[in-house]
Amino acid sequence: MGRMDGLEPRFREEATLKTLTEEVVTSSEIEGEYLSEEQVRSSIARRLGMDIGGLIPADRDVEGVVEMMLDATQRYHEPLTEDRLFGWHAALFPSGRSGMHKITTGAWRQPGAGPMQVVSGPMGRERVHFQAPEAEAVPHEMALFLDWFNTEERLDPVLKAAIAHLWFVTIHPFDDGNGRIARAITDMQLARSDGSTQRFYSMSGQIRKERNRYYDILESTQKGSLDISEWLLWFLECLNTALQNTNETLQTVLAKARFWERRAATAMNERQKRMVNKLLDGFDGKLTSTKWGKIAKCSHDTALRDIKDLLDKGVLVKEPGGSKNTSYALNLEPKKA
């Protein structure tokens, strides 16, 4: 966060957008749901008022999970209430169904549906990983949890995030979506710990990489005693790795910022700026004049003029190869000693 403070707001926004997009996409992937990254990115940017261009419409399920994540991280200082959790749950399941199954939305799970179990394996040989408290106990258990979450101030805030995650997912208060909501609560508490709405690391992204271990440590902790030390250690190690991995995101944004600082006096039209940013973000394949025209939505002659202008200004260089399919790359100047 200290490294980002010296950057222009647009670059800080870009880092936050990258991180929040990863957080939303990977939190759903942990549960086996795969969201369109472009839809998630567009939904977040639109809701945060970011001018990134190329926004696309998002499906209702994408809008719902984005709404929950932004409410958790951008309004982290507000109390977590029963009504707020019900709103998150309703946003996750706008159709009132989880897949083909109708579920209770915007309310705690109801008695009569049988025990809430986390199971795996083929039918008839299922393995029960965890059985949640009976539905009748949920209102009382959640009242205790919410009171603790909103009033406990003695704990280190990062340890509190770890305990909140475990506690909520152990109560398992909803018919579905408990894992995603638990991770949103974790992000909310980590934002409280950071004292910032800006997110530069993704806890869910790291949990996704360690998904098997995540489920194993949850199961062993929930079936064990009240000693949760092993869970806390795993959570802290996971968070530490997430913080180390965020360097990749920050390096990309910092490199972009440095490039534009060096090119502050170079005149470029909007098409050229947009294409240069695409190259800085990591262009897939070789950039040719034909691709330039298609992406920038301009004629081939206009694309050639844009490219020649940037070649003359030293922004682009020709890549080695034949003249028939000439490709171009950014002239990334070496750092000065």
Alpha-carbon distance of 247 to 58, in angstroms, equals: 29
Domain CATH for 299: 1.10.10.10
- Could you tell me if 82 and 214 lie in one domain? yes
Number of C-beta neighbours around residue 119 at 10 A? 10
Find the angle CA(219)-CA(207)-CA(25) to the nearest 5 degrees: 125
Please report the pLDDT score of residue 337 as a whole number. 41
Residue 290 lies in a domain: yes
Cα separations (Å) of 211 from 30, 92, 205, 217, 223? 7, 21, 10, 10, 18
Please report the pLDDT score of residue 8 as a whole number. 76
- Could you tell me if 175 and 285 lie in one domain? no
Number of domains making up the chain:
2
Alpha helices (runs of H) in the chain, residue ranges in sequence order: 2-5, 9-30, 37-47, 60-74, 82-92, 138-151, 157-171, 178-194, 203-209, 211-222, 229-262, 270-282, 289-296, 300-312
Number of C-beta neighbours around residue 91 at 10 A? 21
Of 203, 221, 252, at which residue does a domain stop?
252
Please report the pLDDT score of residue 119 as a whole number. 67
- Could you tell me if 208 and 288 lie in one domain? no
Alpha-carbon distance of 238 to 158, in angstroms, equals: 12
- Could you tell me if 223 and 187 lie in one domain? yes
Residue 243 lies in a domain: yes
Alpha-carbon distance of 17 to 52, in angstroms, equals: 10
Please report the pLDDT score of residue 121 as a whole number. 62
The single-letter code of the amino acid at 38 is E
- Could you tell me if 108 and 181 lie in one domain? yes
Phi, psi of 223 (to 5 degrees): -95, -5
Of 188, 219, 252, at which residue does a domain stop?
252
Q: Tokens 């064990």 correspond to what residue? A: 224
Alpha-carbon distance of 283 to 1, in angstroms, equals: 27
Alpha-carbon distance of 84 to 67, in angstroms, equals: 12
- Which three-class secondary structure state does DSSP give residue 103? coil
Local mean pLDDT, 10-residue blocks, the chain (337 residues) = 74 86 93 92 92 83 95 97 97 88 91 71 70 91 98 96 96 94 97 91 93 91 90 96 82 81 89 88 85 92 94 91 78 60
Nearest to 24 by CA among 157, 205, 214, 256: 205
Structural domain for 317, as ranges: 267-330
- Could you tell me if 161 and 37 lie in one domain? yes
Instruction: Count CA atoms within 13 Å of residue 183 on its CB side.
Output: 26
